[in-house]
Each structure stands twice: as C-alpha cells, then as structure tokens.
Amino acid sequence: MRSSLLAKSLLVLAAGAFVLAGGVDVSEPATAATPADCRAIPVEADGPLHSAEARAAFGVDGSGVTVGLMSDSFDVSQGVTSWQDDVASGVLPGPGNPCGYEQPVEVLKESADGGADEGRAMAQLVHGIAPGARLVFASDGTNVDTAADAVRALAAAGADIIVDDVSPTGELVYQKTALSSAIEQVRSQGVLYLTSAGNENIVGAAGTPAEGRPISGWSTPSYRPTACPAWVTLDDTVVDCLDFDPSGTSPDPTYGLTLGEGQSPKELIQWGEPQDGAKTRLVLQLYSLDSDTPELLATSRPLAEGPGVTAATLASLPDPVDEGEYAFVVVRAAADPESLPAVTVAPELAGAAVLAVEYDRSAGPDRVGVTTYGHQSDGSVSATIGAARWSTPDQLRDYSSLGPGTLLFGPTRDDEQPAARLPEPVVVHAPQMIAVDGTRTSFFGSRSVVDGEVQYRFSGTSAAAPNAAAVLALGWSLRPDAGAEEILAAAQRTATPLANPYAEFGFADEDVVGSGLIDASALLAELAVAPAPSPSPSDVASTAALAATGAPAPWALLVAASAVLAAGAAVVGVRRRMSRRSAVRG
C-alpha cells in the first residue's frame, strides 16, 4: 500500500510539471473546487475519493461532460425537499444555484408509477463531485424493455457516461436481456456505462458457524431430483423436489435458515433454460418450521405470463417476519426427462434478517455467496461498482454484492424464440471497482439528528455508482480527446487496492473488490501525462534556444511543480490514513 501511494504521489508531481509545461491547457480553468459556503450540504465523498484535490490541481469540474442517470424517479415523491429546493440550496444545478451552476437537470422520462426520487439523490452526488457536468435523467420504467428504451434515450440526449442503480423485472441470471443489448449498443457509440453492484450480500452472524462468511445466494449447475417432504403443498403437479445436499449421498429437499425479527427474505429463483424455451417449471416455497407441521408462508409466482418463463419470485411474504427457523423448498411442477437445468436462488432485496443458513459455503458443484446477476455481471456494462463507507473507505461494505455471473445462453430474442446454448459457460467477474457511499443528501437515505441538525445519508451501491461516475466525468473533462475505454482503464490502473475480506473463504479479488477504490487525483494525474511524441530536430533546437536565453528548462518546471504540489501530495497521504433506498436498492 505504501509503494502504491508513493507511486501515485510521484505521478501527481509529474503531471503537475506536465501541466505547467503546457501539456494540458488550464489557463482558463472552470471553477476548481465547489465553494463550501455556497452549498447547504458538504461533499463528503471529496475526501476519500480525492476529488477536491483533483478539481483544484487540474482546474476541472466536469464541464463539457454529460452524465445520464437511470433510476426509479426524479421528482414525484413530494418528500422533505423539492427539486427547486435542491437547486436553491446548491446541491443541484439550475437557475438560481448559489454556486453559479445554472444548467438544470434534464428529465427525459419521469416515472409514471411513483417512486422515492432516488434518481434525484444520485444527481446530487454527481453534482457534488463534478458540479460542471450536464445531467440528464430517465426513469427505468417497469421492466427490461422500458429500461432499454431509457438507456437509448439517455445516449440520444448526448450522455457521455450513463450510471444506473436498477434491477428491472425480467433480468435473467443465465442470459442477456433487451436491457443488456441496449447497453452494448450505446457503448459501441462511445458511452461509458456504470451500474451499481447491488446490496444483496449477507454475512454470517457472529457466533454462528458461518461468522464473517458470505451466505447469500445459492446455485448449482444441474438440478438434483429427490422426493418432496410429505408436508409440501402445491396447487399444481408435484413431480419432485430439489436436493440441496451437494454430496449426493444424503438427499435433503430443504434449505434451512434462521431468521431474526425483521424483513422477510425476498428471493428469486431462476433455472438454466433459455427464455421462451423452458421445459421445466420450478416453484420456490418458504415454510416456517416453528411448529410440528411446517407452515407454508409463501409460494413463488412467474415473472411473466405464458410458457417459456425461466424465473419466479416469492410473493405475499409476511413482513416483518418473526424470529425463528424456516426452510426453502424448490418443487419441480413440470419437467422434461432430458432436462436437469442449473438452478439459482438469489436474494432480491437487502436487509433481510438472515442470521444463518444450512448450506453456508460452496461445496462440490454448488456455489454459495454469488449475488450479482443481470447486467451487473453479464459483461454488457463498462464497470460494476461496489461500495465502501465514506468514513472508512478501506473497508468494503458487508452488503456490497459479489460476483461472478455465469452465462449459458445467447441473448433473449425479439421473435420470442429460444436462444441457443453457448458452446461453453461464460464467467463474468464483477464488481470492477469500488466507490464510497453513506454521504449526505438533502432528503434521501437514513435520517438522523446530529447536533440539532437533521441529516440524510444515502447508503448502498446506488450511492457508490454515481460517485464513481462523477470522478470519471472529471477525468473526461480534463481529457475530452480520450475514449471511454481509455478513461476507464486509467481509473482501474490508478485505483487504490483494497483488502478482500472474504479471501480466506475462497472469494477472488476480482469478484469482491475489483481493482480497488477509485481515486480522482491519481486518475487525473495519469490522464494529464499523455504519451509524448518523438522530438523532431526543430523541437531539440527550440529547447536549446530556451536554455541559452535563460527560459525555464523542463527540469526546472518539474522542481517548481514539486514545490507547488508537495502539499497536495501530503494531504493525499494524510487523508488515506483517515478514515437502493438506503442500502436497499442496488
């Protein structure tokens, strides 16, 4: 870690010399740093992401870059503050913004079904770090098709970077959907696309055998049939049940779990057959075991009507759930003798009061702990972003979802015919990077009162992703000639490595923390030092002439830059040693 910090500090110094020597034109910089007294709320992400230093050192604020945001809604909640209130308090741009940023957010598509205005909270975070960036918003709507339309609308409106925090109905575990295809389309046009990893990881509670271990999410590459318990009830044909025991020697049709009092575990089941070509129908049920005869609490319903559907979600769950012992059962209600598909049981909502599970570690062919799916981990996005708390940025949030994703089929088709199986499974690692969450907004997130002041803190990867997008906007503002992949690659190379808290349990870094915590100062320093062309004879002659007339030589500029930027490098070092719906939606 120390060698990485030293290398970054030297890179910042070299970049400063390059800027002073004319490598990047900052003779008329935009507002370098957001004045603290023109905003009602501080930009807390500036510290751990080093974005305030980056704005000041390189004279950029995101101007010239358009950031598109896709979430639930922007201005429908009629909550604590309004859109106009946020402009007046300096946390959003628009006419009357006290910091002088008067280009308003452009809402291309508002939600028709209500919402919590999470998109407005995301916009506040982007504006805090990159206040000069143009912002456009579109609601994801109700499913993957409406979300795909929103992606294309944002790109058509000129978005250079798009960031979302959505998992719309219809996303699949084993194949790409219309949303993923739309993302790939806009990326081919030069858009840099980020998404939040999700907040579905659950860590085993203290004092349990799985203490500290990721226990959320279960999958197997092939359905294992076994007899159902006598108490299973289903208003349909019961063929058999799924055997959760990976050994194959002691069939077990139940997946036991211990719940504390709190939110019910809202789970999704998907199986490895192509959309529109399913020959199997699986039903997920939740039973309470706190009586002599297990009580059925909930049964899954398909995510869509008609044949060929490969996913279902638990419906009509009791909420909150009582503390006690429970079990999942997967019933096969329709079957093809030649089809034993892969199965995934994945959490849909963070915050469930799961204390322990019967199958809490990967064993045999079964995998435990993977909680990303859909466009988060199907390879369609530029990067998926996980979360670390802003006050302890060296530690991954325990709810930040883990990869990898696994694709078995080609993308879903418009003609409603099943896609072909891929020659080999495709494994997609995620998340690619980490950014901070838990910073303040004007209205969204967990509410607290600190020294008599009401504060709202936005936690979850839904907050981390827009913070990362804003840092990338600063980079693109400095280097508008660079391409999306160049900006992203530089961000990954200069990210601060983070410790993998689950390495001892067999989780790879690339599925937990990716390249590390995004660092604005290091990113802009690398982007500023563009590859120098080979000098021509006239260039050599010009350098000699400068030396002869007493003009500053490049080495002198480097010394001057070192003196100017040494304090900034010291601040970087000191701060590094310091310290969905709020963690509910991806």
**Burial (Cβ within 10 Å: 0-12, 13-18, ≥19) of residue 147:** buried
Residue 182 has a pLDDT of: 98
Give yes or no for residue 480 having a pLDDT over 90. yes
Least confident window among 3-7, 250-254, 303-307:
3-7
**Residue 84: pLDDT band by 50, 70, 90 thresholds?**
very high
3-state secondary structure (DSSP) of residue 408 = strand
Helices 461-478, 51-58: inter-axial angle, 10-degree rounding: 10
Residue 182's nearest CA partner among 372, 375, 311, 373 is: 375
- More reliable by pLDDT, 457 or 535: 457
Share of the chain above pLDDT 90, in %: 73
Residue ranges matching CATH 2.60.120 in the chain: 202-369
How far apart are alpha carbons 213 and 357 in whole angstroms? Answer: 11
The reported pLDDT for the residue numbered 585 is 39
Q: Which of 10-19, 94-103, 270-279 is least confident? A: 10-19
**pLDDT value for 264:** 75
CA distance 403 to 130: 29
Residues 209, 211, 216, 221: is their CA dihedral positive or negative? negative
For residues 467-485, average pLDDT? 98
Q: What is the pLDDT of residue 23?
A: 45
Rounded Cα distance between 359 and 200, Å, is: 17
Tell me the residue ranges of DSSP E strands in 289-401: 295-302, 311-315, 324-334, 343-347, 354-357, 367-368, 383-389
* 49-63, 124-138, 329-343, 522-536, range with the lowest pLDDT: 522-536
Which runs of E-coded beta strand occur in 89-236? 106-109, 134-139, 161-164, 192-196, 218-220, 225-226
Residue-wise pLDDT tens digits, 120-153: 999 999 999 999 999 999 999 999 999 999 999 9
What pLDDT is stored for residue 531 in this prediction?
53
Kindly indicate the confidence band of residue 294, based on its pLDDT and cuts at 50, 70 and 90. very high
What is the length of the chain?
A: 586
Tell me: pLDDT of 316 over 80: no
How many other CB atoms are there within 10 angstroms of residue 465's CB atom?
32
pLDDT bracket for residue 5 (50, 70, 90): very low
The more confident residue out of 14 and 184 is 184
Q: Tell me how many degrees the CA angle 216-218-293 measures, rounded to the nearest 5.
A: 90
What pLDDT does residue 349 have? Answer: 52
Greater pLDDT, 10 or 158: 158
In this prediction, residues 62-72 reach a mean pLDDT of 98
For residues 136 and 157, the answer to whether their CB atoms sit within 8 Å is: yes
Q: What is the mean pLDDT of the chain?
A: 86
Residues 94-125 have pLDDT tens digits of 999 999 999 999 999 999 999 999 999 999 99
Burial 330-350 (b: 16+ CB within 10 A, else e): bbbeebeeeebbbbbbbbebb
* Mean pLDDT computed over 292-319: 86
* Lowest mean per-residue pLDDT among 90-99, 442-451, 563-572: 563-572
User: DSSP letters of 237-305?
Assistant: ---EEE---TTSSS----EEEEE-SBB---EEEEESS-TT----EEEEEEEE-SSSSPEEEEEEEESSS
pLDDT of residue 35: 52
pLDDT at 72 over 90: yes
Give residue 374's pLDDT. 97
Q: Would the pLDDT of 539 be above 80?
A: no
What pTM was estimated for this model as a whole? 0.86
Better pLDDT: 354 or 254: 254
Assess whether pLDDT exceeds 60 at residue 581.
Answer: no
User: How far separated are the first and last CA of the chain, in Å rounded?
Assistant: 30
Higher local confidence (pLDDT), 352 or 89 = 89
Q: Let me know: does 497 contact 522? Beta carbons within 8 Å.
A: no
What mean pLDDT do residues 443-457 have? 96
380-430 pLDDT per residue, tens: 999 999 999 999 999 999 999 999 999 999 999 999 899 999 999 999 999
Assigned token pair, 86: 């946020």
CATH of domain 202-369: 2.60.120
**What is the mean pLDDT of the segment spanning 187-191?**
98
Residue 447 has pLDDT above 70, yes or no: yes
Average pLDDT over residues 204-228: 94
**CATH hierarchy code of domain 2-200+430-527:** 3.40.50.200
**pLDDT greater than 70 at residue 18:** no
Cα distance between residue 382 and residue 60, in whole Å = 23
